Structure 1
Amino acid sequence: MTVKDLAIKLQEKPSLLIKKLMDMRIFANINQVLDEAVVTQICQKYGYQIKKAPDEEESLLLIHEQTDSPKDLQPRPPIVTLMGHVDHGKTSLLDAIRKTKVAESEHGGITQHIGAYRVSLPEGEITFLDTPGHEAFTAMRARGAKATDIVVLVVAADEGIMPQTQEAIDHARAAGVAIMVAINKIDKPQANIDKVKKHLSELNLTAEDWGGKTITVAVSAKTGQGIDNLLEMILLEAQMLELKANPAKIASGVVIEAKMAKGKGPVATLLVQNGTLRLNENIIVGRYYGKVRAMFDNRGQLVQEARPSFPAEVLGLSGVPEAGEKFFVISEEKTARDLALRRQEKEHQEQLKSTKRISLEDLYSQIKAGRLKEIKLVIKSDVQGSLQAIKDVLNKLNISEIKLDIIHEGVGNINASDVILAVASNALILGFHVDSDDRAKELITKEGVDVRIYNVIYELGNDIKAAIEGMLEPKLKKIFIGKAEVRKVFKVSRTGTVAGCFIIKGKIMRSNIINLVRNGEVAFEGKISSLKRFKDDAREVAEGFDCGITLAGFDDFKEGDLIEAYEIEKIARKLE
């Protein structure tokens, strides 16, 4: 926006606006383009807030963001991810479901590995995502994708809760998805289902038969025992979640996995989340575009369309997108291509900058913009005792206005899983007497995650305290600027009612808030909409001078009214 454009919007003379900019040590001519931060500052000085207009990309994708009418929504199958400790049987359980249910429903069809597959039951369908562990699940979420409705936490009946189990729980909770539990390996002699349920209850995952709300099913991937019950419970949970989509809409969704296939080129498994994806439609996927040349289901069969919750392997993209990238159908191929090129250029420009995730230092800028009212933390410590001491210190800092959210805690060095969770959740990582393993260090550097390592607990507490203090709403103090007396009231055809005033104390500024006082009581509080000396706009009028004042939202002036002008001073608050 140029100085001239801004002056028109603010109904201010360009010369006065240029003077205001000079007061801010910004030297600009009438045709100079101002950056967004400067425009925001100027608007605030004039008592206005700015709302960013949608850019070309946002306008193109607006149809996908529009809320669907309830009458257009239809139930859709749940999308399920299995998570848990590495040796507790996630893959075996998926294989058992695939062999017993997918084969039955597909009449001997061979299941293709496309990262997702469907199970058909008399009561409904389920889509399973075959993601390699909770790190991949959260890495997808870090790209803005929420592909999963339900997480089934797989816990071995003979081993119980393990470190990766706790990590999986924290990753699922951070994603805000429903959690069910499958207690696997119940065929083993050492299986102890009640012991597992006891440990789960300590993690606020109390089984329904123990008086809690967590659906918990005992299964054996080896014998097939309990699998039917597990699938029924998934469909029951899905009914409670009331999962719906609009199949009549043009499609949007997420990439589950993608690869470069010999003889086929780029191949991507797309999960449709809303709408229906059809052959020959144009799509944009991250920085790539394409036309849907062919679609295959998880049996490798050609399909003409993919409805909500349907995973399909798609050919025709210009490149290999990353898992977690969102896709959208675009009406024109040229539009999709141009948008992809703009995204590529934008990504290139961002790579040239030093990118960094949220840090304690940049909390303040987000706070001022009103975008942040919580601090998310991942905490790792050398021993359990230190971890508890850190939590005690942080609990003393926590107040009702600010949410201090520990999304994951653990004993041991910072690992890749911790970093991926921090990236997806925009969290800080705090370590006490620990280091980062090699893969974690690579990710920390690549993603720009703020990791703070401490050797003294009170230093950790002081850093977080400073961040919280910056997030507290400041105290507001009214500073008296001046007072004017209404001596004449005029009716002006275009302007409305104007108060002819005389400044009896201090000064009146166009940017002030005012109290209109009548008979010793405040009759109106608001903002000045115009301030004039004779016929000229004025930024301020000093004591002993006449002026004309109009108020935003008030025109019932009477002679003898007093207009008191104030500025609001914001005073930073401190924790006691």
Structure 2
Amino acid sequence: MDKQVAIQTPITVADFAQALDMKVTDVIAELMKNGVMATINDTIDFETAAIVAEDLGVAVTEDEAPASAEESTPQTSQLASGEGESRPPVVTVMGHVDHGKTTLLDGLRQSDTAAGEAGGITQHISAYQIQHNERTITFLDTPGHEAFSALREHGARLTDVAIIVVAADDGVQPQTKEAIQFARDEGVRVVVAINKVDLPGADTNRVKQQLADEEVLPEEWGGETVTVEISAQKQQNLDTLLDMVLLVADVADIRARYDGPAEGMIIESQLVKGQGVTATVLVRHGELNVGDYLVAEDAYARIRSLEDFTGARLERAGPAMPVAVTGWKAAPRLAAVAVEYPDEKSARKAAGSTRDEGSGKSDITQPEALTAAMREGQKFHVPVIIKADVEGSLNAVQQSLERLKTDEVQVEIVGSGIGPVSESDVTLAESTGARIIGFGVSAPGRIKQLASRAGITIQVHTVIYELIEAVREEMSSVLEPEVIEEEWGTLQVRGVFKIAQKELICGGQVTAGKIKPELHVRYQAGEEVGTVKSVQREQQSAKEVVEGEMCGLNITTERKVKVAEGDVLEFVARETRQRSA
């Protein structure tokens, strides 16, 4: 490593970040990846600092100069084993589409959200809490459709226990395997809910064998994974499932610091009419209060209001609580670490430094840059502007469209944002030739009229796979059509009767296959001759002539061609087909 830094320990996270010349939020995020939950005022020892610094590409050495007693006293303690207080577990429900994740959560919440989901699938992350045996459990619901893999991975990073739902009649599917991998990568404990056991095609033993094939060995087979057979639709065995979740959480001894500055992660952000930007924060440590200052990368807020998942107003929120926070100056990024700051000056400074470092990045591509990108490699580009209802959906749409690229065509995202389609979107679309694609948002009537006058297309979708297919069709439309050729026959020229600028009349013998009007004609070497206008056999018009027969041909040409006696002509049928991107 090129960079070396000497530090005195114990050291606060804020001082450690300053010594590394890095953003505090980046250091806190790296600490979290290593299982250390610390805020800017917490202290860490040298061993922890060395591991985190190495992950960040910096080598640290310990400065032996003694620190004064006052300097070495931490304001708050780093959470070590056994420290802090027990907190509610955060549980993510994951699995393949249509395996019953939302129905399960409906049963747990005694609600019905599945019927309200567009296309019957969950389309952005939800967070809420339930009570079971006088204990609180926080649940995250993640989408099952393949386009939302980024949200599912995000959910796994926030979670303590993952319930992976597998339908007993369908077994382990691609997104089941993906959920298992996410949980494994993030070190998340897994409980498998084998759902739909009441259906005729249910086969729980097959599901367990498939799980074992993925190295998820059920307890009853000698493994460590808890499996519970349930029917979410009939609410069978749901209490047992919750008991098992709490048992797994208790074994893990999940703890948090309840006092001091708050820290959490951004689950979602959206633009709410009358409230401005609202972000859902999952509190990990400390206490979040109305009036506190919160920083998430380049966005900061003076908390104007806190609401729980039911919409009830709160004055404060503690660990494992998902709360909607208003008062943001800009929309924070999904999965950003949110850290409390003591005052607006320090919060604004922290957010500003992050914004300055990322100032080269923009959500808008300038027309000149777009033109240059379109010239690159002579690849076709389909420019689009994406508007979505929430940050998570926006990310999912962007990643899905970026994956559509081929060797010949790709989507060029020239602008994106959350909230309804606006006049500035139409202006950008005019300058870049882009179409505007909305997901879960509306386009006001005035904006639609403005776009119509400017010749700008606005497409609004509520189902992710319909949006993807619409863009795929647009990508296909810019590709050159594929020409399909079918060989019909060959003819050896025995006589040439007329060669004109647009016409060739000749005769000969069919040496293979058959010949009929409208077939394309070329030399054996491949050079184009023209198209058969008519065929004659024994001076009579014929629909076709076959191998061995003599015939006369009238061929329409684009130019004067050179055909001589003895030449062999080939005859083919051509069909153009629109290619798919």
TM-score, normalisation: structure 1 = 0.49
Q: Which has the higher contact order (CA 8 A, sep 6+)?
A: 1
Which structure has the larger Rg over C-alpha atoms? 2
TM-score, normalisation: structure 2 = 0.49
